[in-house]
């Protein structure tokens, strides 16, 4: 049974990660992993992230009224994302956990740097037919290795120029697929113990509370300023994870 300090720390992590998601519509997995990996080993951090991520993503993916249209347009993106997440996560069991954690740190730095730059990603146009499965597969592979499923999926969805509500719902649907597949793969590897599953489930309430808080903050705070502070902080955290796992 985890100690009180661990329970409180996990709760605070998901409260913060849920707040981030409430403000910008994403970021719960990568924020929680960044903080949990600084406290716990990589595999336990990924496992703890699963239930709060799945619940919040199901909520996000179910709301909006565009589910059928999104599945019809993005089915290959969703399918390849799920398949590669499952396959790579299942095969990653023989890899060094420190190497995987270091990979998460590198991805964290890269994603945050790109987000700070806010690039104007060109629309795929007629190339969408083959780019959708490619971007899904690439994101799925990175998800299977690092537990983070935002890069490059979010940039690709931005490039599709979806209306805001549809864009947010699309992220929720894709994240739900990847989270479910990651949970399946980790469960098959025996990493989802009863204790970790219970602790992960306990993170749902602070994550949802954080989402509600984040939505209130979004109405009061400049999203641009918040994103700048958030991603600058994540770069520092990512660099710390890289140094701790790949250098020291």
User: Is 122 in a helix, a strand, or coil?
Assistant: coil
pTM, entire model: 0.82
Q: How far apart are CA 75 and CA 170, in angstroms?
A: 11
User: Which residue bears the tokens 């709760």?
Assistant: 11
Tell me the backbone φ, ψ of residue 193, rounded to 5 degrees: -75, 165
pLDDT tens digits, one per residue of 157-212: 888 988 878 988 998 899 999 999 999 988 888 877 888 888 899 899 999 999 88
pLDDT tens digits, one per residue of 167-180: 889 988 999 999 99
Cβ 128 vs Cβ 135: under 8 Å:
no
End-to-end, the C-alpha distance of the chain in Å comes to 30
The Cα angle at residue 216 between residues 212 and 219, in degrees rounded to 5? 145
User: Is 66 in a helix, a strand, or coil?
Assistant: coil
Q: Is the pLDDT of residue 16 over 80?
A: yes
Tell me the backbone φ, ψ of residue 35, rounded to 5 degrees: -80, -40
Q: How far apart are CA 168 and CA 64, in angstroms?
A: 8
Cβ 159 vs Cβ 64: under 8 Å:
no
67: exposed, middle or buried (Cβ count in 10 Å: 0-12, 13-18, 19+): middle
What mean pLDDT, rounded, does the chain reach? 84
- Output the six-digit token pair for 225: 């300023």
């Amino acid at each position: 049974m985890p100690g009180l300090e661990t329970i409180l720390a996990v709760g605070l992590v998901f409260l913060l990660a849920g707040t981030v998601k409430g403000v910008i519509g994403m970021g719960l997995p990568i924020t929680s992993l960044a903080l949990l990996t600084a406290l716990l080993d990589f595999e336990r951090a990924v496992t703890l992230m699963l239930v709060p991520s799945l619940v919040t993503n199901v909520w996000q993916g179910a709301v909006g009224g565009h589910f059928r249209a999104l599945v019809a347009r993005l089915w290959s993106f969703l399918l390849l994302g799920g398949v590669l997440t499952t396959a790579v996560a299942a095969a990653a069991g023989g890899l060094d956990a420190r190497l995987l954690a270091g990979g998460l740190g590198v991805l964290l730095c890269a994603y945050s740097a790109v987000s700070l730059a806010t690039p104007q990603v060109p629309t795929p146009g007629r190339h969408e037919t083959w780019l959708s499965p490619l971007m899904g597969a690439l994101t799925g592979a990175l998800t299977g290795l690092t537990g983070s499923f935002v890069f490059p999926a979010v940039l690709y969805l931005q490039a599709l120029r979806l209306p805001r509500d549809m864009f947010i719902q699309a992220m929720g649907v894709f994240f739900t697929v990847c989270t479910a597949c990651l949970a399946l793969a980790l469960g098959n590897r025996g990493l989802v113990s009863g204790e970790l599953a219970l602790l992960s489930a306990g993170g749902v309430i602070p994550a949802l509370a954080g989402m509600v808080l984040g939505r209130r903050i979004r109405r009061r705070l400049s999203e641009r300023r918040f994103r700048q502070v958030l991603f600058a902080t994540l770069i520092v955290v990512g660099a710390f994870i890289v140094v701790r796992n790949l250098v020291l």
